[in-house]
Amino acid sequence: MKSIELEPIRDLLEKAYDTTMGEGGTPETQQSIEGFEQKYNVQLPAAYRALLLEFGACNFGDPALYSVKELDWAYPEFLEVYREVKKEYQLSDDLNPFPIGGFGEGSMAMLDQTSGKILMLIHDAGDTPIREIAVDFIDLMTQLTESAIWVQEQMN
């Protein structure tokens, strides 16, 4: 099932998921996604949902994007961490973040459903708990796919 949300980068995604870095990507089922959404009474952001259904989790870059199984433990953890950070740093209510992945050093990637931006919730933040890493989901996936393709080309 091809999604219109991914159309601008479909060729890059196919090429990146065909690299050794993208091996093992298994598309999620509609049933597993709906089960998660019902369990937590949330809806996955459209482009992230489309990626999971068509290609599966993305583990060839940083951040690695969660599968539904990973999201099942990461989502409740994210809610707890974000609630604490929001209180400690007095963050605006304008953000409507949804966790989509993790960084190797413990930070989390989140999609702000209000602006569409991809943000990093920084582990042990110091002064700034949140930083923008991509203008939108397509920009993030372009960065990740181009990096995976480049690495594969260097290996050949």
pLDDT at 105: 87
The DSSP-derived string for 65-83 is EPPHHHHHHHHHHHHHHHH
| Amino acid letter, 26 | T
Q: Rounded to 5 degrees, what are φ and ψ at 130? A: -135, 135
Q: What is the Cβ-side half-sphere exposure of residue 127, based on CA atoms within 13 angstroms?
A: 0
pLDDT at 21: 63
pLDDT at 150: 92
Token pair for residue 89? 């740093």
Please check whether residue 109 is in contact with residue 63, taking contact to mean a CB–CB distance below 8 angstroms.
Answer: yes
pLDDT at 1: 59
Rg (CA), the chain: 15
Residues in the chain: 156
pLDDT at 27: 94
CA dihedral (130, 120, 140, 67) in degrees, to 10, reads -150
pLDDT at 126: 79
Please check whether residue 26 is in contact with residue 56, taking contact to mean a CB–CB distance below 8 angstroms.
Answer: yes
Q: What is the mean pLDDT of each run of 10 residues along the chain (156 residues)?
A: 86 88 80 98 96 93 94 97 93 93 94 96 88 97 93 88
Q: Which domains does the chain have, with CATH numbers?
A: 12-151 (3.40.1580.10)
Q: What is the pLDDT of residues 107-117, one digit of tens each?
A: 999 999 999 99
Q: What is the 3-state secondary structure (H, E, C) of 92-145?
A: CCCCCEEEEEECCCCCEEEEECCCCCEEEECCCCCCCCEEEEECCHHHHHHHHH
pLDDT at 22: 63
Give pTM, 2 decimals.
0.93
